[in-house]
Structures are given as C-alpha cells and as structure tokens.
Amino acid sequence: MEEVTQQFINRLNETSYEEVEQFVELRQMKVDKLLSHLHNQSLTPEQKQKLESILNHDELIGQRMQFLKNEAKDWLVQRNMAKAQRNAYESSYTPDSILMDKRK
C-alpha cells in the first residue's frame, strides 16, 4: 500500500477524478483488510511507522479531491449560465402566432 500511495502522490497533480476514485476505493479495501487483521494481533513499530507515512499523504489527497470538486462545480456553473443565455434566445413561439404592437 505504501508503494501504491507513493506512486499516486508522485503524479497527484495529473490525476483525474476517476483515478482518484479508484485509488480511494483500493485504499479503503486495503484498510478494511488491515483492520480485520488487527483484531487478531497488534502492529509492530515498523508497521506503525509505515502506516503513519501513508496517512501523512491524506491532506494532499484531500486537497486534490477538493480541487477536482471545485473544478467540476465551476464547469457546471458555466454550463448552466450558457444554457440560460441560450434559452433566452431560443424561446419557443407558436408558428401561427401574431405579434401586435399598438401605438398610443
């Protein structure tokens, strides 16, 4: 897990949300397996150190996830603005309708 985490961190700024999602799912499976293993025995000092090393990267991973979330949010806002502008110009009119203008 330590090696996989380090490889992921090395290319963190280039990862897509799909890659982040896959990594988080893989990591969760490994953590679940580790926790089930810990019910039978405790960690050695070396294992504790490796685990702390892996967990130290959580903040960076969280920052990347937040960046991707904000990027998606900005895209959705721009898309909705463009859609609203387009809808204003594409108003549907009835083909048989007549527009009357009265002068006073």
Residue 100 has pLDDT above 80, yes or no: no
pLDDT, the chain, mean: 85
State the average pLDDT over residues 37-54.
Answer: 83
pLDDT of residue 45: 87
Number of residues assigned to the chain: 104
More confident position, 67 or 37: 67
pLDDT of residue 96: 65
65: three-class secondary structure by DSSP = helix
The residue ranges of every structural domain in the chain are: 2-84
3-state DSSP percent of the chain in helix, strand and coil, to 5:
75, 0, 25
Question: What amino acid occupies position 41?
Answer: Q
pLDDT of residue 104: 64
CA atoms within 13 A on the CB side of 41: 6
